[in-house]
């Protein structure tokens, strides 16, 4: 039986490895070797990665690819993508090429507002709480001056602090609902620091507010934290072209294709089972760029899915319509991204990727990321409504199966040729490989 360990975090890296390999793997020598294989030979670089998180024992590689030829607002980009799933980079590149010769992608930043909340319990009269809030609002802002001064110099800072009565949802529950502009930062640390300061001011001022009863003076701050739901940190990215330019394949007319695309998006709008997968495809593109640029993909995921459900039913993040003879396809998605802060100036590959993206501001990055999501969705939905998804997918999957079974370069070349005219299935690939090896 396994036993819990006390003080794991205080062990050295090699002691941690020894412990995990011995206690949780069947071949400790082999396990240690695998972990070490993924260490970087440059010890300083390895130490940098070790210190990103806690209890580090190795690095977990993710392939990084490039999707070139993205024409965004008449500027050409090559987009770095970090993702483990085959087909995503290929699909993005294909969509970029297709739209590059049809005017490219157009984008518009609809807002950059970030949100944070102080959640508190107040037992007393709401009208007194309102008067108290009006009185202390300027103190909330002035007490946070030491935190906001440099952000204000950049044109950002606190935008608004609102008192919200949530007591009909939960007894005695109120909020300071706060909005911020964080310029080129995602803003988590800035916002959380401001909120903790607001909470301290709120509690102190309540203790000294003479109109409050003794009970009302005891405001209980439950927590102070940014929200990853940022419906006003919003970006729209769009493609459009005359329908007759939608000559996607010989098998389908441009008009039929346009109509099928619109129909497919309509289905994703009304059918949550489809919408989730539809949006998952969008997030294939989005997460890959978010990760490659050192941003927080969990934050982006949470915010995007909440936005997809903003009307009460989970729905598509992309939209499509035919207007006259023009086909329009667009995405609207909240993206709180940073090009400073977090890992952005620490991780050498992130720095390189931001250079490849021509040193974007946070707003530029919102546009690039939204376009990657839109391109991905265009490629996925156009496959679905024409050839089906498996044709392209299994071709890419072929490589993974061959690698899993240690195919040599010669075997790969032979089988890639063979499967140009045969259907890829897992069993089919294994049989072909076995036959080749006989
Ligand atoms: P940092 O705190 O690392 O960096 C942001 C700071 O950089 C700003 O507050 C500002 O500080 C400074 N800065 C320098 N130049 C600029 C500029 N041009 N525009 C804006 N700020 C600038 O990062 P973030 O606060 O953005 O936080 C991001 C990290 O927080 C991510 O790694 C994320 O994973 C993590 N996180 C996420 C949470 C969530 O999403 N729920 C919760 C907690 C953490 P100054 O004004 O003092 O110079």
DSSP of 193-252: HHHHHHHHHHHHHHHT-TTS-HHHH--EEEEEEEES--TTSEEEEEEEEEGGG---BTTB
Pocket test for ligand 1, best of 115, 342, 363 (most atoms within 8 A of CB): 342
Question: Is residue 389 over pLDDT 80?
Answer: no
State the catalytic residue, choosing from 33, 135, 153, 280: 280
Distance CA 121, CA 297 (A): 32
Question: Is residue 391 over pLDDT 80?
Answer: no
Contact (CB, 8 A) for 296 and 196? no
393 catalytically annotated:
yes
Kindly give the distance from the C-alpha atom of residue 343 to the centroid of ligand 1, in angstroms, as a whole number: 10
Pairing verdict, β 234-242 and 106-109: antiparallel
Question: Is residue 420 over pLDDT 90?
Answer: no
Select from 234, 232, 230, 252 the least CA-distant residue to 243: 252
296 lines ligand 1 (CB under 6 A): yes
- In this structure, of 79-93, 223-237, 376-390, the range with the lowest mean pLDDT score is 376-390
Question: Is residue 399 over pLDDT 90?
Answer: no
Q: What is the mean pLDDT of residues 49-72?
A: 97
Instruction: Return mean pLDDT, the chain.
Output: 96
Residue 88 tokens read as: 């995503």
Q: What is the mean pLDDT of residues 20-37?
A: 98
Kindly give the distance from the C-alpha atom of residue 155 to the centroid of ligand 1, in angstroms, as a whole number: 15
Give the phi and the psi of residue 191 in degrees, each rounded to 5: -65, -45
150 lines ligand 1 (CB under 6 A): yes
Question: Is residue 361 over pLDDT 90?
Answer: yes
Distance CA 393, CA 85 (A): 10
The C-alpha angle 237, 238, 243, rounded to 5 degrees, equals 170
Which atom from ligand 1 is nearest to the alpha carbon of 296?
34
Model confidence band, residue 313 (pLDDT cutoffs 50, 70, 90): very high
183 lines ligand 1 (CB under 6 A): yes
Question: Is residue 291 over pLDDT 90?
Answer: yes
Q: Whose CA is nearest to atom 42 of ligand 1?
A: 188
Distance CA 288, CA 146 (A): 36
Which helix H or strand E contains 172, and what residues bound it?
none
pLDDT at position 414 is 94
Distance CA 264, CA 319 (A): 10
Model confidence band, residue 1 (pLDDT cutoffs 50, 70, 90): confident
296 catalytically annotated:
yes
Question: Is residue 423 over pLDDT 90?
Answer: no
User: Percent of the chain scored above 90 by pLDDT?
Assistant: 93
Residue 309 tokens read as: 């459900």
Distance CA 266, CA 286 (A): 21
């Amino acid at each position: 039986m396994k036993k819990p360990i006390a003080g794991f975090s205080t062990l050295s890296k090699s002691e941690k490895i020894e412990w995990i390999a011995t206690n949780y793997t069947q071949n400790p020598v082999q396990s240690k070797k695998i972990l070490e294989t993924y260490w970087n030979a440059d010890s300083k670089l390895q130490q940098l990665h070790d210190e990103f998180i806690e209890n580090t024992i190795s690095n977990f590689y993710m392939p990084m690819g490039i999707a070139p030829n993205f024409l965004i607002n008449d500027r050409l980009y090559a987009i770095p993508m970090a993702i483990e799933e085959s087909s995503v980079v290929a699909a993005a590149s294909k969509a970029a090429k297709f739209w590059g010769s049809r005017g490219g992608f157009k984008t518009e930043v609809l807002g950059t507002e970030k949100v944070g909340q102080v959640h508190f319990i107040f037992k007393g009269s709401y009208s007194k709480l309102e008067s108290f809030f009006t009185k202390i609002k300027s103190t909330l802002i002035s007490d946070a001056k030491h935190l906001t001064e440099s952000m204000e110099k950049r044109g950002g800072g606190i935008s608004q602090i609102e008192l919200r009565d949530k007591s009909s949802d939960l007894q005695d529950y109120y909020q300071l609902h706060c909005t911020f502009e964080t310029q080129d930062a995602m803003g988590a640390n800035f916002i959380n620091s401001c909120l903790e300061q607001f909470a301290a001011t709120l509690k102190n001022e309540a203790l000294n507010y003479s109109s409050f009863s003794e009970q009302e003076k005891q405001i209980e701050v439950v927590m102070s934290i940014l929200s990853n739901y940022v419906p006003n940190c919003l970006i729209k990215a769009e493609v459009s072209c005359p329908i007759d330019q939608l000559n996607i394949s010989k098998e389908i007319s441009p008009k039929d294709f346009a109509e099928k695309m619109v129909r497919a998006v309509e289905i994703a709008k009304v059918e949550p089972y489809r919408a989730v997968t539809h949006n998952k495809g969008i997030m294939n593109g989005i997460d890959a760029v978010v990760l490659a640029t050192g941003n927080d993909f969990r934050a982006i995921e949470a915010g995007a899915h909440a936005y997809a459900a903003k009307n009460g039913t989970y729905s598509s993040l992309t939209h499509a319509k035919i207007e006259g003879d023009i086909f329009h396809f667009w995405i609207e998605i909240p993206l709180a991204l940073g090009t400073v802060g977090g890992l952005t100036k620490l991780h050498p590959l992130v720095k390189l990727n931001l250079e490849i993206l021509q040193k974007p501001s946070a707003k530029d990055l919102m546009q690039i990321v939204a376009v990657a999501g839109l391109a991905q969705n265009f490629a996925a939905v156009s496959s679905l409504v024409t050839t089906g998804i498996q044709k392209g997918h299994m071709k890419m999957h072929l490589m993974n199966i061959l690698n899993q079974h240690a195919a040599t370069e010669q075997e790969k070349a032979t089988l890639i040729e063979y499967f140009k005219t045969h259907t890829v299935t897992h069993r089919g690939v294994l049989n072909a490989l076995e036959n080749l090896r006989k």
